[in-house]
Amino acid sequence: MLKKIQLLLILTISALASCKVENKGIGTALNSVSADDMKKYISVIASDDFQGRAPSTTGEEKTINYLAEQFRLLGLKPANNGSFFQEVSLIKLTADKSMKLDISGEKIKLSLNYSDDLIGGTPQVKDMIKIENSDIVFVGYGINAPEYNWNDYAGLDVKGKTVVMLVNDPGYATSDTSLFTGKAMTYYGRWTYKYEEAAREGAEAAIIIHETGAAGYPWAVVQNSWSGPQFSLEDNDLSKSDLQLKCWVTTEAAKKIFKGAGLDYNQLTQAASKRGFKPVDMKLKASISFKNKAEHTKSNNVVALWPGTDRSDEYVIYTAHWDHFGVNPAFKGDSILNGAVDNATGTAALLDIAKAFTSIPVKQNRSILFLSVTCEEQGLLGSEYYAHHPLFPLAKTVCDINMDALNIFGRTKDMTVVGFGNSQLDNYAVSVLKKYGRYASSDPTPEKGGYFRSDHFSFAKVGVPSLYLSDGVDNVEHGKEWGLATSEKWIMENYHKPSDNYEPDKWNFDGMIDDIKVYFEIGYDLSISKDFPEWNSKFPFKSLRDKMMSK
Ligand SMILES: [Zn+2]
């Protein structure tokens, strides 16, 4: 008898569960999400033929034409006045790698070499960069953050000087929750911020000291990411500033510089993470000169619209960057950085989710914009360009949902909500995951600053609520520890390297398909809702949203 009741209960519950799906009428859409499609798309996007998808190359041309064609075949509309492309004006700068950074002082004459010791370039549109005997100042973390009552530049004039600083922020170094946000990286910990601030302060050169833990990646990532041509938006603040050199140096090189100045590296870097730290004049001079090839060029975001019905003037955006690093001859053997995981997977998911939307019997109310952006790897430039030149009003843009590097390690019980607690969008993620018997977890490595490292952040910076989910780590088969270790191992071995190849035999697509259904359903729920989810009260860019919504 008991068994019968139990069975009845189970039947009722499962009927209710399926009923919920049926009521939404998205069963066919969910069924259309398939590993076969993903394999088909990824095999093309990550192919050698697409040459690593570097912006402004034939690799770009092939990629964006392929994406536009797929969106057209699916029945989506070109979102930019009849075009599937949004042109992005760029500056492309290629610094001559024979550069040497000379450091001199009373007891030291040091010459740092490109790649082994430093990776650098200039934000300036000039043919030649020349810095002579610029005074070097150690500015700790190089942070000026009034809301945390912290200013490494207090009382300091760095005009014409070279600032040396640490990556990440004092909260990371000390794990002290009363400093910044403790171990979790704030935007002040990101290298992009550090150059921006050095430029605002009027520095001539900015040197960031690399540390694998604090940066969230090994030196090889610095080498691979910033040794090719460097792009910036045509309209950008750095090239209007006095900053001539932006560069990273290895920890070893930094230690040599400190030693040459008669300073204790460990002691000073510790002091830099304590309140009351004062910048240190290192009594050293920096000199460097190098040729710089400056070009004006263009790249493209791909923009495809799936219009809604009665609220078609409101938009849910999905983003995934199509670009990667192209070909780097510095790698012997396989020199193509195919970016299969990063981000052929997310780009393919855009197509698969678009397909899912087109297979819903009753169309959704709001419009869906599929935005495959360029130059993410160059500092989120394509998404920044869209955020500043939106095709549809930002105040009518409900949110951005971003996908970057999907799961290839199998099913997980969880998905990571990077920046969990930032906005009410989290509730949508939580409830969809719950429906599938899964759960939302917060970022297991918040010190890496994941929330600032992909395209949703460009939307956040202008106030539009944005959601960034990433792989879960609680692997169904092998558990959490395995999940975390496997993903860390992948990052150390393959992230931004030629070995990020498409390997269908090695990849497990089950988790990826689960996750794509979640991405789809979050967007779908928002597309039939009247809700405009808001930032939570502590989010730094909340006031921008409040202002645009009150107009
Ligand atoms: Zn990426």
481-499 pLDDT, tens digit per residue, is 999 999 999 999 999 999 9
Distance 392 CA to ligand 1 centre (A): 25
Indicate if the pLDDT at residue 24 is higher than 80: no
- Read off the DSSP letter of residue 341: I
Distance 467 CA to ligand 1 centre (A): 15
Distance 199 CA to ligand 1 centre (A): 26
Residues with CB under 5 A from ligand 1 (ion): 342-343, 404
Distance 414 CA to ligand 1 centre (A): 21
Distance 491 CA to ligand 1 centre (A): 12
- Report, as an integer, the average pLDDT of 185-210: 95
Backbone angles phi, psi at 474, to 5 degrees: -85, 80
Q: How far apart are CA 480 and CA 474, in angstroms?
A: 4
**Overall CATH class of domain 49-78+307-550:** alpha beta
The predicted pLDDT at position 43 comes to 98
How is domain 93-295 classified at the architecture level of CATH?
Answer: 3-Layer(bba) Sandwich (3.50)
Distance 380 CA to ligand 1 centre (A): 9
The runs of H, that is alpha helices, within 359-478 are 381-388, 425-435, 456-461
Q: Is 101 helix (H, G, I), strand (E, B) or coil?
A: strand
Domain edges within the chain: 49-78+307-550, 93-295
Distance 43 CA to ligand 1 centre (A): 17
Q: What is the pLDDT of residues 256-307, one digit of tens each?
A: 999 999 999 999 999 999 999 999 999 999 999 999 999 999 999 999 999 9
Enter the tokens of residue 76. Answer: 């989506």
Distance 72 CA to ligand 1 centre (A): 25
Distance 277 CA to ligand 1 centre (A): 35
Indicate if the pLDDT at residue 2 is higher than 50: no
Q: How far apart are CA 85 and CA 65, in angstroms?
A: 9
- Which of these, 158, 302, 316, 323, lies nearest to 231 by C-alpha position? 323
Distance 532 CA to ligand 1 centre (A): 27
Distance 342 CA to ligand 1 centre (A): 5
Distance 324 CA to ligand 1 centre (A): 8
Indicate if the pLDDT at residue 4 is higher than 80: no
Identify the weakest region by mean pLDDT among 17-21, 123-127, 138-142. 17-21
Indicate if the pLDDT at residue 242 is higher than 70: yes
Q: Indicate the pLDDT class of residue 18, thresholds 50, 70 and 90.
A: very low
Q: What is the pLDDT of residues 352-377, one digit of tens each?
A: 999 999 999 999 999 999 999 999 99
Indicate if the pLDDT at residue 11 is higher than 50: no
Indicate if the pLDDT at residue 5 is higher than 60: no
Distance 500 CA to ligand 1 centre (A): 11
User: Do 523 and 318 form a contact (C-beta atoms < 8 A)?
Assistant: yes
Distance 30 CA to ligand 1 centre (A): 25
Contacts made by residues 270-274, CB under 8 angstroms, sequence distance 24+: 270/173, 271/140, 272/138, 272/140, 272/141, 272/152, 272/166, 272/170, 272/173, 273/140, 273/141, 273/170, 273/173, 273/174, 273/179, 274/170, 274/174
Distance 8 CA to ligand 1 centre (A): 47
- Read off the DSSP letter of residue 499: T
Distance 359 CA to ligand 1 centre (A): 28
Average pLDDT across the chain, whole number: 93
Distance 343 CA to ligand 1 centre (A): 5
Distance 513 CA to ligand 1 centre (A): 19
Distance 321 CA to ligand 1 centre (A): 7
Distance 46 CA to ligand 1 centre (A): 13
The predicted pLDDT at position 23 comes to 53
Distance 385 CA to ligand 1 centre (A): 17
Distance 79 CA to ligand 1 centre (A): 23
Indicate if the pLDDT at residue 314 is higher than 50: yes
pTM for the full predicted model: 0.84
Distance 470 CA to ligand 1 centre (A): 11
Distance 18 CA to ligand 1 centre (A): 35
Distance 383 CA to ligand 1 centre (A): 12
Distance 377 CA to ligand 1 centre (A): 7
Q: How far apart are CA 294 and CA 288, in angstroms?
A: 18
Residues 6+ apart with CB under 8 A from 537: none
Distance 116 CA to ligand 1 centre (A): 25
Q: What is the pLDDT of residues 423-469, one digit of tens each?
A: 999 999 999 999 999 999 998 888 888 888 899 999 999 999 999 99
The predicted pLDDT at position 20 comes to 44
Question: pLDDT: is 217 or 165 the higher one?
Answer: 165
